Chain A
Amino acid sequence: MKKPSLPAYNFAYLDEQTKRMIRRAILKAIAIPGYQVPFASREMPMPYGWGTGGVQVTASILGPDDVLKVIDQGADDTTNAVSIRDFFAKVADVATTTRTTDATIIQTRHRIPETPLTQGQIIVYQVPIPEPLRFLEPRETETRVMHALEEYGLVHVKLYEDIAQHGHIATTYAYPVKVEGRYVMDPSPIPKFDNPKMHRSPALQLFGAGREKRIYALPPFTNVISLDFEDHPFKVQRFESRCALCDAQDVYMDEVITDDRGGRMFVCSDTDHCETRRSEGYQGAGLPQHGAAKADWEAAQ
């Protein structure tokens, strides 16, 4: 005789009490934009640094009707993205997608999609080090006091040092921002190219750091200003070239090395954006056909 067995997992892996605890932390984080709320981070079936914080946040807000998209450095098809998407397909049985416009929840590592997010969407960031002051102040007790008293001079010391050493602000990712004129926040290691997308975004933005046990949030339409100096204003990087696959311009690019003789091409980092454009008929220059690579290619023909 077979005993009736319990399902192996609760919906979305975490038990309901844990989800309640995390939701409480999320609500508090939304109520105080940019403030890091401590929470009792759980062990997840993946190593720290792979998105344990993001996964816990996603698991707590996921409902059966949600459509989940997971990206890693802009791509839907890299190990981290594929594993987390499969994980939720298995433990929550939710629909998944790679299309930004179809998703209700987007979990991300290191990018914000090129397609502007809309009201009702939620983006969940995986955060390795939530504390923007950590690089110059290792004591947690001290950084908490600094946040409480709005002592943010140190962030500018870092930016000053950048300009002194490199002639310009050389911080290109995890670029510190000020939220609603109050808290200084680490936007997670997204390129500073994406920082302006956070400013007054209609989507809800949640940040989860599993190892560091912190959750913070930006409610829709929150002011998010990148820090800078009056005479060295915040600037995002620009790319000279167009995407080799979809000919897109003014998007964030990945450099792809195509051979060992200097051949390379730039392609959209956001794979969904690139595929969408190609399906609309845009076409890039394709593989580089120049220099040594070109000679090789011609010889092979």
Chain B
Amino acid sequence: MNSDPILSVRKLEKRYGNFIGCTDISFDVWPGEVVAIVGESGSGKTTLLNCISTRMERSSGEIRYRMRDRRYPDLAELSEAELRFLMRTDWGFVHQNPADGLRMQVSAGANVGERLMAIGDRNYGEIRRRASDWLERVEIAATRIDDMPVSFSGGMRQRLQIARNLVTHPRLIFMDEPTGGLDVSVQARVLDLLRMLVSDLSLSVIIVTHDLAVARLLSQRMIVMKSGRIVEQGLTDRVMDDPSHPYTQLLVASILEN
């Protein structure tokens, strides 16, 4: 594995007026690694994710990202054009609600092809071939390529959203509760798929979830947040089996044993 982190966050803080969204956040993400951010509702997980993915402006701190050309700039130094290019090529963002991440008024094929067209692909046949390729990889029948996402089930929409993000071979994916709105069996299928894709494509992933089971299944490392601060971080297995912070102990203890 490459020894340089792909992303490093230092002393990140986000304030809403006097209110703290998240503060004193520092961690690194290495290539091919899945990092889960867990914590209860309101603990600042999503705020953190939005700050890192530049969907929200941070108040202070540093976020560096390893570009494909090996530069390692703070994201604040990048121009808006560079950032937006990064977002639609090198990064992906999987929303909890697929409707937020999809274009609901165009077909599945157009949803997957959008990023290709955005980076200049102008061959319809080629775009379509790659779109149907990706649909199959996320287990959506290629015959549904011209169907609207509104006609898809929740699980299919989520898988479509994943395909749409992965078509440009990004290196870093942000996920905000990707299995949040799905029932348990569908969740399992989406998680399975994610795990497979992540290892096949050696993606780096930052995944926000309140579900420790999801974190355990997908992630190698875990960050536990409470009231906007990191209370514990470490290897997922270590944190789950031997939580050191009382809050983490509470979280782990609250998982239903089966």
Contact = CB atoms under 8 A, between A and B. Distances in A.
Contacts of A145: 80, 84
**A contacts with B: majority SS:** helix
B110 interface: yes
Contacts, number: 55
A82 interface: no
Interface string A156-176: 111011011100000000000
A154 B123 contact: no
Contacts of A136: 103, 105-106
A69 B10 CA distance: 67
Interface string B123-154: 11101100000000000000001100000000
B125 A231 contact: yes
A154 B123 CA distance: 15
Contact of A149 (B81, B117, B119, B145): B81
Contact of B117 (A156, A163, A165, A230): A156
Interface string A221-256: 000000001111000000000000000000000000
B146 A164 contact: yes
A229 B113 contact: no
Contacts of B109: 160, 164
B114 A149 contact: no
B114 A164 contact: no
Nearest to B116: A153
A296 interface: no
Contact of A157 (B84, B117, B122): B117
Contacts of B115: 153
Given A153-B117, A164-B146, A229 B123 contact: yes
The range of chain B's interface size is 20 to 34
Nearest to B84: A149
A15 interface: no
Contacts of B128: 164
A165 B146 contact: yes
A163 B106 contact: no
Nearest to B118: A153
A158 B107 CA distance: 10
A160 B146 contact: no
A41 to B, nearest CB: 29
Contacts of B118: 151, 153-154
Contacts of B127: 160
B84 A229 contact: no
A77 to B, nearest CB: 39
Interface in B202-245: none
A149 B105 CA distance: 24
Given A153-B117, A157-B117, A165 B122 contact: no
Nearest to A158: B106
Contact of B110 (A149, A164, A229): A164
Contacts of A231: 123-125
A231 B110 CA distance: 16
B119 A161 contact: no
A229 B122 contact: yes
Given A136-B103, A136-B106, A149-B84, A230 B113 contact: no
Contacts of A149: 80-81, 84
A157 B124 contact: no
Contacts of B146: 164-165
A160 B122 contact: no
Contacts of B124: 160, 163, 229-232
Nearest to A145: B80
Nearest to A149: B81
Interface in A143-202: 145, 149, 151, 153-154, 156-158, 160-161, 163-165
B113 A157 contact: yes
A23 to B, nearest CB: 32
Nearest to A136: B103
Interface of B: 80-81, 84, 103, 105-107, 109-110, 113-115, 117-119, 122-125, 127-128, 145-146
18 contacts: A136-B103, A136-B106, A145-B80, A149-B80, A149-B84, A153-B114, A153-B115, A153-B117, A154-B114, A157-B117, A158-B106, A160-B113, A160-B124, A164-B109, A164-B128, A229-B123, A229-B124, A231-B123
5 smallest CB-CB distances across A and B, nearest first, come from: A153-B118, A156-B117, A229-B124, A153-B117, A230-B123
Given A151-B118, A158-B106, A164-B109, 16 more contacts: A136-B106, A145-B80, A149-B80, A149-B81, A149-B84, A151-B84, A156-B117, A157-B103, A157-B117, A160-B109, A160-B124, A161-B107, A165-B107, A229-B122, A230-B123, A230-B124
